[in-house]
A = this chain, B = another copy of it.
Amino acid sequence: MSRGFVVWLTGLSGAGKSTLAGLLAAELRARGLRVETLDGDEVRENLSKGLGFSKEDRDTNVRRIGYVARLLARNGVAVIAAVISPYAAVRDEVRAAVEQAEGHPRFIEVHVDCAIEELTRRDTKGLYAKAQRGEIANFSGVSDPYEAPTAPELRIDTEAQSAEASLDTVLSLLDREGLIDGLGMTRAH
């Protein structure tokens, strides 16, 4: 049975977490791994309806996603979490819980990074403009803190590189860490 692990994508809204999660999930599935993607919005609907975006509620939501990630990873699943998860302390708490689970699944924290200026420029959903006009309270990076990881396993600059290049960066790391088999590469490089 293959060893589970968690790739935790943290970063601001619009930075490219879900895009990268989708590409990575497809790639890992193509290699025969069990893969589960925990996307912030979908998980919130299923596990945290009624919670808001205060620090306390966000922390609770992230802890719940971490709990589910841990259950899956200790059962051999490759978990990809795509969650803003703005607070460092709770991310570290989730990391510790995952790494202490049966089989000691690896926790790979990936900071999906993009400058706020670029996010404001793209603003595909119009959320940054709204937040900057004060119409969205608790919007991470604008009206709410985002504590960037100080020592993530990876930092990916999605302003500087394409989603495909970001995917390659993640795959290379997973390969070096022995979590996937480099020989099994299915994509053209």
Question: Which residues of A are at the interface with B, using a C-beta cutoff of 8 A?
Answer: 1, 34, 36, 46-47, 49, 60, 63-64, 67-68, 71-72, 75-77
Contacts and interface: CB of A to CB of B under 8 A. Distances in A.
B75 A34 contact: yes
Oligomeric state, in copies: 2
Contacts of A76: 34, 75-76
Residues of A contacting B: mostly: helix
Given A34-B76, A76-B76, 12 more contacts: A34-B75, A36-B71, A46-B64, A47-B47, A47-B64, A47-B67, A68-B71, A71-B72, A72-B72, A72-B75, A75-B75, A75-B77
14 contacts: A1-B34, A34-B76, A36-B71, A46-B63, A46-B64, A47-B47, A47-B64, A47-B67, A49-B60, A68-B71, A72-B72, A72-B75, A75-B75, A76-B76
A66 to B, nearest CB: 9
